[in-house]
Amino acid sequence: MRTVRIGAGQGFYGDTPDGALDVARNGDVSYICFDALAELTMAILQKDRMRNPEGGYARDLPSFMRLLLPIARERGIRLVTNAGGMNPAGAAATVGSVARELGMSDLQVGVVEGDDLTARVDELRDSGVPFANLDTGADVGAVRDRFVFAVAYLGAQPVAQALEDGADVVVTGRVADASLFVAPMVHELGWGFEDWDRLAAGVVLGHLMECSGQATGGNFSGDWWNVPDLDRVGYPVCEMREDGTALLTKPHGSGGRVSVDTVKEQLLYEVLDPRAYMNPDVVADFTTVKLRDAGPDAVEVSGVRGRPRPEQLKVIAGYLDGWMGTAMIGYSWPDATAKARRAAELIEHLAARAGLEPLEQLVEVVGVDSLHGDAAPHVDANEVVLRVAARFASEQEAAKFPRVAMPLALNGPPFIGGAGGPTGPRALLGVWPTLVPRERVESHVKVTVQRAGQDA
């Protein structure tokens, strides 16, 4: 039975390259897939591109490539990454530049474009695509003129095409996390794009690997204190079989743990309906998944069932949503919590006196209720930090807000110091989820593969 071994190389923009290097050296893999994107990441990358039209992709991509390309070339490992973000063509050109620096001008670099709908929103709306908010049903009209980006979640098919066309490295924009891993499986194992159960198995394994160390002991809520060597946790490695059963493990000698419990936690991570996990390639039923400990740091995954893929693709748009100003002050025992809450009231009065009218405000006593909110127990911690974040319509108002709290250094409850002093205003992007018929997106997807030397 044919098999393919695929490793995870990245779980987020800013992740360490050490896990990918360990997979490359000790994972015995043919592919490494890098998931660099999230909704917040798209907003960050779009802000980068607004400042510099040649930016918009993950800035750690060149450093990853410099470290990994020599090993990948030596061992015949192909790399797939969605670090292209808002500018996959620019990211692919950067990969080509790094390859040339390393004397690899014959490296085949693939790029998948077409997920970016920013310039097509009005065209799509005029043709009858409503762009209604997926969560609330709200009409897009109120925020349309503030859109700064809109991207669709593509599936595995264009990535598999790039691999079929000979790409050693494939760079994409917003391809769905799990689909990055499905593409090599389809390419190597001969699966069809209507083979729902096997595609669903690929999505399950992709989902287990997309967050790097979270399936191998990172963020584990069980006996996390017994998980060995988290300072060099091994990233997941999947051995996928032609029939859709798989073995999930990690590089030999690496830290962390692979067990039914660690895998089960990641399986349920960011899952709304486990009976219908929506992916551009298939709808997977996570309730059919069977997990079995298959040896030290090895879990067998089987039994996955799938249904036909959705007729629409998810689209995430980002729109300008005001400016944030933040005030932070620290307080210590005794009565640390009470001091912070009183200071929050004083900041509200001072802001009103200054003529500032927040559109929205969040008060957190960090160390007490910033995570659990009203459900947090009422305790007096040894020390806390008050954080008051307010959203304003204008940058000028947001810039003034932190300064209204400064008199409390001497005029308020006894404090231990500011938390870094006033910070500058931050532009806020709201997220607008919606659906677009897949044929309206996929008809514009473009796959290109060329030698790194052609970028010169």
Q: For 190-204, how does the pLDDT look when each residue is reduced to its tens digit (9 = 90+)?
A: 999 999 999 999 999
pTM over 0.85: yes
Q: How do residues 75-110 score in pLDDT, each as one tens digit?
A: 999 999 999 999 999 999 999 999 999 999 999 999
- Residue intervals in the chain for CATH 3.30.70: 320-424
Angle at CA of residue 15, ends 72 and 150, nearest 5°: 100
Q: What is the predicted pLDDT for the residue at 373?
A: 86
* pLDDT above 70: percentage of residues in the chain: 98
pLDDT at 422 over 60: no
Least confident among 257-261, 371-375, 394-398? 371-375
Q: What is the predicted pLDDT for the residue at 455?
A: 52
Q: How far is 241 from 360, CA to CA, in rounded Å?
A: 51
Q: What is the predicted pLDDT for the residue at 1?
A: 87
Range 383-389 average pLDDT:
95
Could you tell me if 330 and 132 are in contact, meaning their C-beta atoms sit under 8 angstroms apart? Answer: no
371 pLDDT band, cuts 50/70/90, is confident
Could you tell me if 67 and 21 are in contact, meaning their C-beta atoms sit under 8 angstroms apart? Answer: yes
Could you tell me if 77 and 44 are in contact, meaning their C-beta atoms sit under 8 angstroms apart? Answer: no
Angle at CA of residue 77, ends 34 and 298, nearest 5°: 70
Provide the sign of the torsion angle of the four alpha carbons 35, 40, 41, 42, taken in this order: positive
Q: What is the predicted pLDDT for the residue at 111?
A: 98
Q: Is 9 helix (H, G, I), strand (E, B) or coil?
A: strand
Residue 288 phi, psi dihedral angles, 5° rounding: -90, -5
Note the CATH architecture for domain 320-424: 2-Layer Sandwich (3.30)
Q: What is the predicted pLDDT for the residue at 441?
A: 98
Q: What is the predicted pLDDT for the residue at 374?
A: 86
Q: What is the mean pLDDT of the chain?
A: 95
Q: How do residues 32-41 score in pLDDT, each as one tens digit?
A: 999 999 888 8
